[in-house]
Structure 1
Amino acid sequence: MELKIEARNLDMRKGWLDKIEGEKAKLIRHYANLVLYLRVTIENTANQKKGGFEVRLVATVPNDTVVVKRQGEKVLALLVEAFDVLGLQLKEFVRKKQDHKGVKAQGAVLGGNGSGVIQRLFPQDSYGFIVTSDSQEIFFHETVLKDMLMTDLKEGDPVMFGVTEGEMGPQATFVRSEKG
């Protein structure tokens, strides 16, 4: 999981950094490979009515983004509360994905092969999404690319792929260019 920590209008304290690192470790332990990117922002908002600080967590997960915002007076307490809420939202996210397992798409038969086009790319995070003719999104990681690199791909490129049911829904077992 890639982690970015931002401080706005304040100096970051070691205790806050330690708490964020501890919570990151907990997320990795409970939701391995689910959170691809996490941004933690702590902002001094002294002019606002709800307290002097705002903590924002933005977590990128396959096919979605989870955002948690908390405002108050004590940053450590806000961090604890925000990460607790994030954990609950991730738990619900996993439950919903598991409820949708078994949904099969024409363009992507589970355990088989399919074709589609590159819909979105996140080369800095080494993953992307393919969309099938019936609009189903298929997650892929750069490790499944055959005879090409992430830098060779562009949104809209036609591809062939194998698909299996992953923890978070359909994911490619291989991706190969249809161009030849």
Structure 2
Amino acid sequence: MAIPLQVTFKGMDPSPALEARIRTKAARLERFADFILRCHVTVEAPHQHHHQGRMYQARVELDVPQGRIVTGHEGPQDHAHEDAYVAIRDSFAAATRRLEDHVRKLGGSVKHHEPVLVTGRVARFVAGGDYGFIETGDGEEVYFHRHAVANNAFGKLRVGDHVRLAVTEGEQGPQASAVHAVAAGHD
């Protein structure tokens, strides 16, 4: 299963080359755990006012069963982080170590449920919240969060829009781990 991935660039223009590197690194995480629900990577350019080397910051957030793994670099940075690719490499290396630790801690106790791929329509949004519900073809309502919506398109969704989604069983019922808008008539 492909990990639902969101990439955000802060203080810099989006870079197709950096995004490709991030996608490759995220795909490799599945070697260590195939139950990753979501991966959000933020690459932040250094502020212009720094007099010495400009250090990039890369942050990797993984939503996994029974937890969340977040890596980034706080405190003094290695001057190698003047290169965005090195910052990304280091953050993914830390994420991999933490993911391996998480898998060991769980000791195989994770109940792995393959996501079910279905289509549906956006039923409603919760006022003031970053989430809503999708009604599937069988009438079931599935929770979804803005981070599960592909291509940062949460703000573009409207009630009644057709979507494809991967549904997993969460602690409080079914939830969407990936939501993709579908053009009308193509679901």
TM-score normalised to structure 2 length: 0.52
Q: Select 1:87's aligned residue among 92, 96, 113.
A: 96
Partner Cα distance (1:85, 1:75) in 2: 16
Letter in 1 for 2:171: F
**CA separation of 1:63/1:75 partners in 2, compared to 1, >3 Å: closer, same or farther?**
same
SS at match of 2:104: helix
SS at match of 2:107: helix
**CA separation of 1:142/1:45 partners in 2, compared to 1, >3 Å: closer, same or farther?**
closer
Q: Residue 75 in 1 paired to residue 84 in 2? A: yes
The alpha carbon displacement at 1:54 in A equals: 1.1
Q: Give ranges in structure 2 of 5+ residues lacking alignment.
A: 110-132, 134-141, 149-166, 177-187
SS at match of 1:65: strand
Q: Select 2:33's aligned residue among 26, 31, 40.
A: 31
SS at match of 2:8: strand
Letter in 2 for 1:123: Y
Partner of 1:123: 143
Q: Residue 63 in 1 paired to residue 66 in 2? A: yes
SS at match of 1:59: strand
* Structure of higher CA gyration radius: 1
The CA RMSD over aligned residues, in Å, is: 2.7
**CA separation of 1:142/1:42 partners in 2, compared to 1, >3 Å: closer, same or farther?**
closer
Partner Cα distance (2:143, 2:37) in 1: 12
The alpha carbon displacement at 1:11 in A equals: 1.1
Partner of 2:15: 13
The alpha carbon displacement at 1:51 in A equals: 3.9
How much identity, in percent, do the aligned residues show? 19
The alpha carbon displacement at 1:57 in A equals: 0.8
TM-score normalised to structure 1 length: 0.54
The alpha carbon displacement at 1:27 in A equals: 1.0
> How far does the alpha carbon of each residue in 1:83-129 deviate from its partner, in whole angstroms, 9 at most, with x for none?
11100000000101108x5xxxxxxxxxxxxxxxxxxx982253421
Letter in 2 for 1:22: T
Structure with more strand by fraction: 1
Contact 2:33 2:103 in 1 (8 A): no
> How far does the alpha carbon of each residue in 1:20-61 deviate from its partner, in whole angstroms, 9 at most, with x for none?
11111101233112x111110011122467843211111111
SS at match of 1:123: strand
Dislocated runs of 4+, deviation >3 Å: 47-51, 140-143
Partner Cα distance (2:46, 2:143) in 1: 34
Partner Cα distance (2:34, 2:28) in 1: 9
Partner of 1:43: 44
Partner Cα distance (2:34, 2:53) in 1: 34
